[in-house]
Structure 1
Amino acid sequence: MDLLQMILNAQNGQAVDRIGGVLGLQPDQARTAIERLLPALAGGMARNVTQPGGLESLESALTRGNHARYLDDPSQLGGDDSIAEGNGILGHLLGSKDVSRQVASQVSAETGIGADVLKKMLPMLASVVMAALARNASRSSTGQVQFGQDGPGGGLFDLLGPLLAGGQGSQPGGLGAAIDMLGGLFRK
Structure 2
Amino acid sequence: MNLLEMILNSQNGGAVRQLAQNFGLEQNQAASAISNLVPALSSGLMRNVSQAGGLESLLSALGGGQHARYLDDLSTLGRPETVEDGNGILGHILGSKDVSRQVARAASRQSGIGEDVLKKMLPVVAGMVMGALSKQSTSLGAARQQRSAGGSDLLGTFASFLDANRDGSIADDVLGIVGKLFQK
TM-score (norm 2): 0.83
Structure 2 residue 153 is the aligned partner of structure 1 residue 177: no
Q: 2:172 — aligned with what?
A: 166
CA distance in 2, matches of 1:50, 1:103: 21
SS in 2 for 1:178: helix
CA distance in 2, matches of 1:121, 1:77: 10
Structure 2 residue 163 is the aligned partner of structure 1 residue 157: no
CA distance in 2, matches of 1:178, 1:47: 17
CA distance in 2, matches of 1:157, 1:93: 15
**Does the 8 Å CA contact 1:162/1:168 hold for their aligned counterparts?**
no
Letter in 2 for 1:166: D
Over the aligned positions, Cα root-mean-square deviation in angstroms equals 2.6
Compute the displacement of 1:91 (Å).
Answer: 0.4
Task: Note closer, same or farther for the CA distance 1:26–1:119 as it changes in structure 2 (3 Å cut).
Answer: same
SS in 2 for 1:60: helix
CA distance in 1, matches of 2:180, 2:78: 25
Compute the displacement of 1:86 (Å).
Answer: 0.5
**Does the 8 Å CA contact 2:163/2:173 hold for their aligned counterparts?**
no
Q: 2:67 — aligned with what?
A: 67
How many corresponding residue pairs?
170
Q: 1:114 — aligned with what?
A: 114
**Does the 8 Å CA contact 2:43/2:174 hold for their aligned counterparts?**
no
The answer to which structure has the higher helix fraction is 2
SS in 1 for 2:47: helix
Per-residue CA distance 1:133-165 (angstroms, 9 max, x = gap): 11011144x989x9xx9xxxx821111123534
Q: 1:47 — aligned with what?
A: 47
Task: Note closer, same or farther for the CA distance 1:75–1:143 as it changes in structure 2 (3 Å cut).
Answer: farther
Compute the displacement of 1:59 (Å).
Answer: 0.8
Q: 2:37 — aligned with what?
A: 37
**Does the 8 Å CA contact 2:11/2:72 hold for their aligned counterparts?**
yes
TM-score (norm 1): 0.82
Per-residue CA distance 1:21-40 (angstroms, 9 max, x = gap): 11101000000111111110
CA distance in 2, matches of 1:178, 1:56: 30
Structure 2: state its 5+ residue gaps.
none
Per-residue CA distance 1:1-23 (angstroms, 9 max, x = gap): 10011000010011111112111
**Does the 8 Å CA contact 2:59/2:137 hold for their aligned counterparts?**
no
CA distance in 2, matches of 1:103, 1:79: 22
Q: 1:10 — aligned with what?
A: 10
CA distance in 2, matches of 1:63, 1:158: 20
Letter in 2 for 1:59: L
